[in-house]
Amino acid sequence: MQQLLQRFLTVSLLVLRISQSGKLLAQDTIPKSPGLIKVTGGLNAYAGFYTATGIAARNQTSPFGLSGSVTVTLPGGISLPFSAVLGNQGSSFRQPFNQFGVSPNYKWATVHAGYRNVSFSPFTLAGHTFLGGGVELNPGKLRLGAIYGRFNKAISTNLAEPDIIPAYQRTGYAVKVGYGKPGNYVDLIMLRAKDDSASIASVPQSASQTVAPAENLVVGATSRLLIIKHITVELDAAVSAYTRDVRSSEVSAEGSSAVTRLFGRLFTARISTQLTQATQAAIGYRTKNAGIKLQYKRIDPNFQTMGAYYFQSDIESYAIAPNLTLLEGKLRLSGSYGVQYDNLAKNKNARTGRQIGSLVVSYNPATKFGIDLQLSNYGISQQAGLRPIIDTLKLAQNNLSATINTRYTIQNENMVNLFTLTATRQQLSDLNQRTAAFTNNTNTNLNLGYFYQQVKSGLGANLMVSYTQADLAQGMKTQFYGPTLGLTKSFLTNKLSTSVNGSYLINKQDDELGETLNGQIINASANAGYQIGKRQNISLQLAYLNSNTGVAEQQYNELRGTFGYGISF
């Protein structure tokens, strides 16, 4: 802890010296306007107490600690945050130099250096973090980009940490060439990445874990085009050649076309190489009060790119999404409906299909009243693939969700009164009669709320009455209902702020035997804060929890309090 404190103090003193001088020996960016280095931060100290009965303590009996943060803002907007926490609940020190990077820009040029994540398109370079450099240039309508760096660092296994997953060092580059402006452009992208098979020692293979050096070449295109005044076209497509083991035997490519000769110099086809593609496209029509979009997506099984972390592959989907505005903008309707399938290669035992539909209606006839309705329906079913599906294992479910939210406001110059009513129902229906008794469930939630605020005095109040019921499989049911009350008030020209909150929830549980367990949950808290001058403040927090589910072994009480002091600079 002493070393941690010394590190934090050393960094803080260094930062303060830099801020006083206002100069740097070297700059990481081209400043838009001259200015000094800005240093901001704060220091917070706290101490408290904690007691519990009925359960094992979930906190220290007398928690205390000290935390601080310093943020250095360099000319050009580059921020360097430092933070440290010391106390009997744990200690830590954070600084930005483990993964530090900058992306200064000047007019139409942007330079990337250090740890960065850049996106060229969804199926090529899509936000993967790399350590290296790059540039993006957009003079006029020309769109150019290039990056190079390390995508993964080498990680070796050792006897002391057998659970570590080994990884080869991976380096790569990506280039982009395009034409157009934001919202109306066409880009061509290529990504090339490869693992260094000599970056780590030989990896022991097992049935559950196999690690091999891989190689990847991805060529793709992305575009957003305004065809005519009201019609837009979106396209993202890529073809990926992915070699799972660069040590496997080479495969000679047939033909001597220009394309084969070009990409043959960049990528070596092997036995473990797989060629896959991904495409998503949409066409939309939009007017002042209406619009519609048609969407299509297809991602081959096992599609991968080393420029992204994760892809949901083996899917094909179609969707339509209309929207409509009526009554001079007071009524808005939007929705969507789509279907999705897997097993594109027809090599799975079953084919799974999904149907997804949604509807959103918003009606605001006046500023004081409004109502929103949201409906969604998600269905999933299976069809026979390589083998017939056994009835007891067949998956066929429908999930319906509906939410309605209403609000009514009464306000004047001195006060605001807001009334809200929210109702939600979620229902899972199993269409397989053999399994429905074990999976069907319904959840219902009702919330009635009232919020009051005095504009000048700072007095505020809120009252919420809630009811939740869950009807589970095999006749089990759970209910929670009760009120929640809160009050806030400011004093001494808003220097002292106070609040109290309390809730009382009744809990009822019916098990499969027909027995009912009655319980209750009581929550209460009080908070106060006082502002000392412009940069200092003190705070006091108290909280009490009483939980009784009806089971003697699950009854407990907790009481905690915290006093804190903070200063900012």
Q: What is the pLDDT of residues 360-374, one digit of tens each?
A: 999 999 889 999 999
Higher pLDDT, 363 or 476: 363
Return the pLDDT at 391. 59
- Compare 369 and 5 and report the one with higher pLDDT: 369
The DSSP secondary-structure symbol of 309 reads S
Segment 108-133, tens digit of pLDDT = 999 999 889 999 999 999 999 999 99
Nearest CA-CA partner of 378 in 322, 334, 435, 339: 339
CA angle 428, 431, 436 (to 5 degrees): 70
Q: What is the mean pLDDT of residues 55-71?
A: 90
**Residue 428: beta bridge partners?**
399, 441
Query: Is pLDDT larger for residue 232 or for residue 476?
Result: 232
- H/E segment holding residue 374: strand 369-384
Q: Give percent of the chain above pLDDT 70.
A: 84
Helical ranges in 22-163 per DSSP H: none
Residue 44 pLDDT: 94
Segment 79-93, tens digit of pLDDT: 778 888 888 877 776
- Contact in structure between 311 and 305 (CB atoms under 8 Å): yes
Q: Tell me the DSSP string of 171-232.
A: EEEEEEEEEEETTEEEEEEEEEEEEETTSSPPPPP-SS------EEEEEEEEEEEEEETTEE
**H helices of 22-168, where?**
none
The DSSP line for 438-449 is: HH-EEEEEEEEE
In single-letter form, the type of residue at position 116 comes to: R
* Predicted local confidence at residue 536, as pLDDT: 94
Q: What is the pLDDT of residues 393-430, one digit of tens each?
A: 667 788 999 999 999 999 998 899 999 999 999 998 87
Token digits for 531? Answer: 């502002």
Question: CB of 377 within 8 A of CB of 398?
Answer: yes
What is the pLDDT averaged over residues 482-493? Answer: 94
Question: Is 326's pLDDT higher than 90?
Answer: yes
Check residues 69 and 541 and name the one with the higher pLDDT.
541
Asked if residue 240 has pLDDT above 70, the reply is yes
Closest listed residue to residue 93, CA positions, set 33, 176, 228, 3: 3
CA 411 from chain center: how many Å? 36
Q: What is the DSSP letter of 535?
A: T
Mention every residue, 6+ apart, whose C-beta is less than 8 A from residue 479.
467, 468, 469, 470, 506, 507, 508, 509
Q: Is the pTM of this model over 0.85?
A: no
